[in-house]
Structure 1
Amino acid sequence: MSLLTARHPSRSDRPGPASAQGAGPGLLLALLATVVWSGSFVATRDMADSVPPVQAVFWRWIIALLAVAPFAARPFWRQRTLIRRHLGLTALASLSGVALYNTLVHQAGLTTSATNMGMIMAASPVIMAGYARLGGERLGTRRVLGTAIAVLGVLLLVGKGSLTVDPSAGDLWMFAAALCFASYSALLKRRPAEIDQLAFLAATFALGALMLAPAYAVSLAVQGGFPATPGTVGPLLYVGVLSSAVAFFAWNKAVSLVGAARAGAVYYLQPVCVALLSYALLGEELGLAGGVCMALVLGGVALSSAR
């Protein structure tokens, strides 16, 4: 709205009790998505040696699509014309957030720890800030300083306490995954409000599975399949049902209730959750240097997102 058309808000324009009442549930939904996503890094690392990355991601989205289908079928069919009209945006979101991002995360799990994966992903707001600056947004001193602190924490993390960075292959895969997640988040802001969240979710899941199908066929022919055991099926059900269907829906709903900035502040708890789960379930030690890096990453992203 320009200054020429601005007006004083009427009583109907002002935020009412509903918006205040939605803050609590919105933050709880953001926390739910963050904790569930933290567990997905542990599950991904746990099955890295038994399930090829492309096959794991393909079945993840097939399971996720089956999980949301009973709830998304009707709104998807009702809005099929609207979704087709915005197919380009939906396909780009699916490519970056469904197909590429998760494949890179599973690939990273082969050669880096779940703790490193969580902390590198926590620095993805740095890339989001870069997108915002390219879009003409002024970042401000606080945001630039917070971004610099977070970058320092990540550099110390991958350099194992030194600024002489010698990242593992898994760390590099996670940096690429963070870039894809930031791109997905930027595209998510452009989703038309009239498209139902479940319908949009189902569309991205279906497109992502289709994009992964050729790579899945090649992996199956070259690497062979994987055994269906509790050690492979259990993690796949977790990342398919909880990390994909439940967490994505909870996150999108949280953003609609409290906005991306407030939901994003909760997301910064992810490296703490990942480190605790990795220690409890995988026996990964964080150490003093890792704790310092975690404090820098969390402090930086919190400072850059504070209002």
Structure 2
Amino acid sequence: MSLITARHPTPAPAPEDDTSTTNITTTITTTTEKPVPARKLARGAGLGVLLALLATVVWSGSFVATRDMADTVPPVQAVFWRWIIALLAVAPFAARPFLRQWRTVRRHLGFVALASLFGVALYNTLVHQAGLTTSASNMGMIMAASPVIMAVYARLGGERLGARRILGMLTAALGVLLLVGKGSLAVDFAAGDLWMFAAALSFASYSALLKRKPAELDGLAFLFTTFLLGALMLAPAYAVSLTVQGGFTVGLATVGPLLYVGVFSSAVAFFAWNKAIALVGAARAGVVYYLQPVCVALLSYALLGERLGLLGGASMALILGGVALASVRGR
């Protein structure tokens, strides 16, 4: 009856004392507050996992494109043009939100600059540097170490991981180690592999920062600003590379991979990943990132004819099983 009274108020005599007024107010407030439906939460979590999967699949292809450019485009030049292309790709959608939120961006410029450093300038330069001395398959597999770092950041931030998620992460990590070590846990890393571990640390730091993105900062404005700042950070290194190493030949062999990493791996994948972090958090999205070695292996089989074999199939089963186990949300 209190809910009906709240929706259709009628004149009533003044209460005899303050206690009755307090009771009525409490009853109305308690009745009208409703928890968020579990179905809505499940839809949001499902969308977050799908977006993280989309970004992971697209980034898997970028390792193939990066390795393909390693002998023709210097790493810093490749990264610089990647973000120039990404800026042009998102400008029609993000320029207006960026201008509208310019004061908000300025207020949080320190946070945005830090995210630009880890996620745009540093991470991608390390990936392209690694492509000089390691294979695309190794690049994708080693990047699967980043979910472990994301989980550590999440735990340090006070997030409870739960036994199921930890077990799933360990299972997926075991599959990755077996895949990299070709059946052995003793892995001999090349110089490019070490560059990729540094890239994994940088990407995990970027993902952890995303969880703390100010709520008033629009997603597209944030994306555009990080791309812009990242390109500005790379400009001095680009000028040095151009002076010392010279430019690269513009042709289908270089423009095609640059368009892929600029439009899809940067604009599309970063938008999907940022949204996934907002919906499910860095640790849970990071679990989906374990699928990257599987995607890279499948792309290598489809494009390069590399067969997986029995060990590859078993490693994939461990990775997929671990991701499935860790991604399931408890009640």
- Per the alignment, do residues 138 and 52 of structure 1 end up closer, same or farther by CA in structure 2, a change over 3 Å counting? same
Deviation (angstroms), 1:236: 0.2
What is the aligned partner in structure 2 of residue 117 from structure 1?
139
Deviation (angstroms), 1:304: 4.5
Identity of aligned residues (%): 80
Equivalent residue in structure 1 for 2:77, among 41, 55, 62: 55
Three-state SS of the structure 1 residue aligned to 2:221 is: helix
Structure 1 range deviating more: 166-175 or 232-241: 166-175
Of structures 1 and 2, the one with the larger relative CO (CA 8 A, separation 6+) is: 1
Say whether the 8 Å CA contact 2:207–2:282 is kept in structure 1: no
Deviation (angstroms), 1:194: 1.2
> Is structure 2 residue 91 aligned with structure 1 residue 69?
yes
- Per the alignment, do residues 268 and 165 of structure 1 end up closer, same or farther by CA in structure 2, a change over 3 Å counting? closer
Report the residue type matching 1:107 in the other structure: Q
After superposition, where does 1:66-145 map in structure 2 within 5 Å? 66-145=88-167
After superposition, where does 1:1-307 map in structure 2 within 5 Å? 10-15=32-37, 25-257=47-279, 260=282, 263-307=285-329
Structure 1 range deviating more: 238-247 or 255-264: 255-264
> Distance between the aligned counterparts of 1:297 and 1:107, measured in 2?
27
> Distance between the aligned counterparts of 1:129 and 1:22, measured in 2?
20
- Per the alignment, do residues 196 and 115 of structure 1 end up closer, same or farther by CA in structure 2, a change over 3 Å counting? same
Deviation (angstroms), 1:121: 1.5
Deviation (angstroms), 1:75: 0.9
Report the residue type matching 1:60 in the other structure: R
Structure 1 range deviating more: 137-146 or 246-255: 137-146
Structure 1 range deviating more: 115-124 or 78-87: 115-124
> Distance between the aligned counterparts of 2:278 and 2:325, measured in 1?
23
> Distance between the aligned counterparts of 2:252 and 2:179, measured in 1?
33
Deviation (angstroms), 1:256: 3.8
- Consecutive unaligned residues of structure 2, counting only runs of 5 or more, are 1-28
Say whether the 8 Å CA contact 1:111–1:169 is kept in structure 2: yes
* Number of aligned residue pairs: 301
Deviation (angstroms), 1:47: 1.2
TM-score (norm 1): 0.86
Give the structure with higher Rg (CA): 2
> Distance between the aligned counterparts of 1:208 and 1:71, measured in 2?
19
What is the aligned partner in structure 2 of residue 3 from structure 1?
none
Deviations, residues 113-161 of structure 1 (Å, cap 9, x unaligned)? 2222222222311111222333344544444444444444444444443
RMSD value over aligned CA atoms? 2.7
Structure 1 range deviating more: 177-186 or 145-154: 145-154
Deviation (angstroms), 1:266: 3.9
TM-score (norm 2): 0.80
Report the residue type matching 1:173 in the other structure: W
Say whether the 8 Å CA contact 1:19–1:257 is kept in structure 2: no
Deviations, residues 244-298 of structure 1 (Å, cap 9, x unaligned)? 1111112223444555565445433322221111222234444444444444444
Three-state SS of the structure 1 residue aligned to 2:229 is: helix
Deviations, residues 179-210 of structure 1 (Å, cap 9, x unaligned)? 11110000000101111111000110011111
- Per the alignment, do residues 162 and 17 of structure 1 end up closer, same or farther by CA in structure 2, a change over 3 Å counting? closer
Report the residue type matching 1:94 in the other structure: S
- Consecutive unaligned residues of structure 1, counting only runs of 5 or more, are 1-6
